[in-house]
Structure 1
């Protein structure tokens, strides 16, 4: 049993959902530093990681040595680095060979690597969009692996689907884990299964799923569905708000999200226009359900309803607006509320969000589901537990 804290630095932290999942897995994880360029997202992270030093700055202008000074002032060091550098800069990635902590490069991934190289954590977790696996015929992700290998890490990556880990959403991501050479790399094992399509990737050993691990689903729970995630929330119409629960939790997932919370927040519906309400009334599984005279264009998933008995499609930053994605309530004639989106992302109801409704919706849509973070945390925790590493004070 570990008796010391395992200190986390959360880069590109957003809401802090990834590191929040770590702290939900074990109280021995502590987020000591969170960095993000968006003030509202960082303030959300700060509300849920009150012990952390938060830095609202473009990481490309931030020197690791200055961050280290702040940590030392608070008698803190770094054992684990987590984060998801935005993918826009991957086209220019080069092998990383620089020990200079004032590196002028502007690639966001390389800034992540710069911090790993400077702080030398025992482990790091890099989360990103699933397209990274095939970008430039997989040359980009090979370069990323090489970057970390050159600075002393063993590295592996897998494609995961959040629905396999108790999240009511088919959200696929690349998870890369790096450890100091010689330490074990432990990925999470699926706990839930669902039937449906997932990304096609030629190397099946890189895909974690219930299907790949067993010939039957007997060892797994069925994936959490949209209805199981949100059915206890009060029914409301377009433009309405509800601020109190009207029924008890209907299942374990709802009970876990609610905990002892007695105030319902963010359950407010978009005030849809009369034309949008007419479109919503016709909505079904895809855009093809909408009469042609009501719309002129859209993606196949635009103006469509979520299916109650399945996990949701991947939430986007526009999940309160049906024109751009599949986000209409399974039974009610409106888009999801921010609270319903947070439930589908696996946030507890007492998780605190900062900012305007628009900012909070974007934070939820961009977040790493905390329950996925919790699943990843188990393997990272075992690295420290099994190898008796000396962790932080």
Structure 2
């Protein structure tokens, strides 16, 4: 029987992280997000123990009461708070004092109050950038130096996805845990291709309805002019392949050698990987999201497969809501690999006390 590892997830979205952690033997006993459609998707697929709630108004005591634990007893807290103030930090600014970062500040306060054995802070790439050392020291100080911090960039293709999405994840391990966290090694030797990920799916219905056997496998309406433009684009090509007379006016005055929007009207290659799936994947006018053979953009089901979701996972909401749920999700296979490495630390594995970053700064920091 698997060990029961108890987890709380905040800013849970549709449940990509939770699904991966579940596959790594964590039980997510409470989840919260402010987006109603994302919470509905989470409840439909994972657990009714999810709430449509503003995380900034949750207290540590409330979280502990919900899961009936005391400080220090929870195994894992996971979350990916939006951090709008990170990308434009001025030199010398304190990242946790920036008013734009109140959600991460709140999340750190919840970690400090709940004192989980480990925590995950996802999608905060600034910690792995040039001044990451300063920000890590600030975060460590806010948590009273109680955690070893392990920042790492992950390429989703290394974990079984046909997508080269880069994802930043910071893992904290409480200092009294016997082992320590080591970033998981790639789980595949050869990257999966787009064809391996979605090549067996039948074409979606022409009337934009959902395919009867594959949830969310539906195409988006496009104009005949755009369909004609895209029909000229070969695999791996883009707007530069569209004949002059059919191009958009803005593309007629753009120098292809200057690079301008190389992925717009982009068609995927069967034998390669997809770039990062974003909330705009259902339109090839937003990037390289065109089907390798059919003259259309990816369907939500195809994008979900490229994100590592199984076909039984059904997304709830309108077109806008579903595409953003998928685009914002943590790929479940990546979350599973990270969860398994955390579990290994709980069992005494890993190296001790060293914080490493595989980013451009290449720093090693003892905290």
User: What is the TM-score with the length of structure 2 in the denominator?
Assistant: 0.81
Residues in 2 aligned to 1:151 and 1:118: alpha-carbon distance in whole angstroms: 14
Residues in 2 aligned to 1:80 and 1:374: alpha-carbon distance in whole angstroms: 13
Q: Is the 8 A contact 1:238 1:270 kept in 2?
A: no
Q: Is the 8 A contact 1:133 1:141 kept in 2?
A: no
C-alpha distance 81-322 of structure 1, shift in aligned 2 (>3 A): same
Q: Which residue of 1 aligns with 2:149?
A: 155
Matched, 1:38 2:32: no
Note the C-alpha offset of 1:149.
5.3
Note the C-alpha offset of 1:381.
1.3
Note the C-alpha offset of 1:95.
6.9
Q: Is the 8 A contact 2:84 2:101 kept in 1?
A: no
Matched, 1:289 2:241: yes
Residues in 2 aligned to 1:105 and 1:168: alpha-carbon distance in whole angstroms: 34
Q: Which residue of 2 aligns with 1:272?
A: 222
Q: 2:192 is paired with a residue of what secondary structure?
A: coil
Q: 2:108 aligns with which of 113, 125, 137?
A: 113
The structure 1 segments of at least 4 consecutive aligned residues displaced by more than 6 Å after TM superposition are none
Q: 2:317 aligns with which of 331, 340, 355?
A: 355
Note the C-alpha offset of 1:161.
0.3
Extract unaligned runs of 5+ from structure 1: 98-103, 193-219, 245-262, 388-393
Q: 1:68 is paired with a residue of what secondary structure?
A: helix
C-alpha distance 131-170 of structure 1, shift in aligned 2 (>3 A): farther
Extract unaligned runs of 5+ from structure 2: 252-259, 350-367
Note the C-alpha offset of 1:303.
0.8
User: What is the TM-score with the length of structure 1 in the denominator?
Assistant: 0.76
Note the C-alpha offset of 1:148.
5.6
Q: Is the 8 A contact 2:96 2:104 kept in 1?
A: no
Note the C-alpha offset of 1:274.
0.9
Counterpart mapping for 1:298-313 below 5 A? 299-313=261-275
Residues in 2 aligned to 1:106 and 1:372: alpha-carbon distance in whole angstroms: 26
Q: 1:326 is paired with a residue of what secondary structure?
A: coil
Q: 1:313 is paired with a residue of what secondary structure?
A: coil
Deviations 1:258-282 (A, max 9, x none): xxxxx32111111110111012112
Residues in 1 aligned to 2:330 and 2:113: alpha-carbon distance in whole angstroms: 25
Q: Which residue of 2 aligns with 1:80?
A: 76
Q: Which residue of 1 aligns with 2:171?
A: 177
Matched, 1:124 2:119: yes
Residues in 2 aligned to 1:385 and 1:343: alpha-carbon distance in whole angstroms: 32
Question: What's the C-alpha RMSD, in Å, of the aligned pairs?
Answer: 2.8
Residues in 1 aligned to 2:244 and 2:113: alpha-carbon distance in whole angstroms: 57
Q: Which residue of 2 aligns with 1:318?
A: 280
Deviations 1:274-297 (A, max 9, x none): 111012112242332233552225
Q: 1:89 is paired with a residue of what secondary structure?
A: coil
